[in-house]
Chains A and B, each alone.
Chain A
Amino acid sequence: MKGRSPPVRNAGDMIEHQSELPSVGPEISAAALDEARLRQQAIGVRLRQMFDEVVNEPIPDDFLDILRRADKSAEQG
């Protein structure tokens, strides 16, 4: 992926915002945090995959046609 930060950044954000959640016992929260981090990472991977599916589609011809026409009118204009 082009210059994308590793998914670890997402997990860091999770931790950062954990304080907003109701507090639980320290032994529970450590395990829960690991689990939540893992799940958030997994969702992050999926989310990028979903977006990249469209990014990786070939560009439909009309996009390039429109640009080519615009280019011509710019030359003539």
Chain B
Amino acid sequence: MVDRSPRDPALDAAFKAEIVTLIPHLRAFARTLCGNATAADDLAQDAMMKAWDARASFQMGTNMKAWTFMILRNQFYSEKRRSWRQTQLDQEAAERTLVAVDDPEAPVALNELRLSLGMLPPEQREALILVGAGGFAYEEAAEICGVAVGTVKSRVSRARRALLAILEAGAYDRDGRAAGDAMGSILADAERLSTAR
């Protein structure tokens, strides 16, 4: 295994306490990668255990969130590489899940945002999620994805423009439903949220 030397129980406890606070974020990131909620939780659990096994190599006090996100992302892509066939099936399942997001309680624009995100190239979607939703700096996102900072910046910028274009054109896969005014509804909602604050 990774660590054979005896571990300081206090260190392990501190590590564990911190990783517990990251579980919700790992689940959210996994959900954006997998689409399917069950597969996402499996991925998040695997990543959590990989992080635990590798805890000896983690320097307490450094950015554990970025470190665990990198582990989760690597896990996701190595599983994808192991079986491209499975990947295809996952992709189909994810698409079904995305399309099946049909909770009548959910605001219309949120579903449309999900569908539109699904149309972005994976590397753009990932960069936008990390920076735009995960709260990571460009430098941290670059480290997580293993690319240059400039690459992340351009991916995020392209993703933002593409997302806006898709939403404005109503070009997301609506599964046969009538086109709603997604952009109008997002704008109205943002206004409501910002005034409520």
Residues of A within 8 A of B (CB): 1-4, 10, 13-14, 16-17, 20, 36, 38-52, 54-57, 59-60, 62-64, 66-67, 70-71, 74-75
* Across-interface contacts of A57 in B (CB, < 8 A): 24, 27
* 0/1 string, B121-133, CB within 8 A of A gives 1: 0000000110011
Which residues of A lie under 8 Å from residue B41 when comparing CB positions?
A: 60, 62-63
Structural contact, A50 and B110, CB atoms closer than 8 A: yes
Instruction: Give the complex CA separation of A63 and B22 in angstroms.
Output: 11
- Shortest distance from the beta carbon of A48 to any chain B beta carbon, whole Å: 5
CB neighbors of A among B8-32 (8 A): 9, 12, 16, 19-20, 23-25, 27-28, 31-32
Which residues of B142-184 have CB atoms within 8 Å of chain A's CB atoms? 153, 156-157, 160-161, 163-164, 167-168, 183
Q: How far is the CA of A50 from the CA of B133 in the complex (A)?
A: 8
Residues in B with CB closer than 8 Å to A50 are: 110, 113-114, 133
- Additional 14 contacts, C-beta under 8 A, given A14-B160, A39-B168, A71-B12: A3-B135, A13-B156, A13-B157, A39-B187, A41-B190, A42-B190, A45-B193, A48-B132, A50-B110, A54-B28, A54-B31, A67-B16, A67-B48, A74-B12
- B100 to chain A: closest CB distance in Å? 16
B93 near A: Cβ within 8 Å? no
Total count of chain B residues near the partner, CB < 8 A: 47
Q: Which residues of B contact A17 (CB under 8 A)?
A: 157, 161
Complex: A41 Cα to B194 Cα, angstroms: 11
Chain A contacts for B7, CB-based, 8 A: 74
Residues B24 and A66 in contact, CB atoms below 8 Å apart: no
The total of Cβ contacts below 8 Å across the A-B interface reads 110
Q: Are A45 and B24 in contact (CB under 8 A)?
A: no
Closest to B133 in A: A51
- Asked if residues A51 and B129 are in contact (CB atoms below 8 Å), the reply is yes
A57 to B153, CA, bound (A): 30
CA A52 – CA B194 in complex, angstroms?
A: 16
Q: Are B135 and A4 in contact (CB under 8 A)?
A: yes
With beta carbons under 8 angstroms apart, the residue of A3, A4, A41, A59 that contacts B24 is: A59
Q: Which residues on the B side are within 8 Å of A16 (C-beta)? A: 157
Indicate the member of A39, A42, A48 with the most B CB atoms within 10 Å: A42
Residues in A with CB closer than 8 Å to B110 are 46, 49-50
> 3 tightest CB-CB pairs across the interface, nearest first?
A51-B133, A42-B190, A54-B28
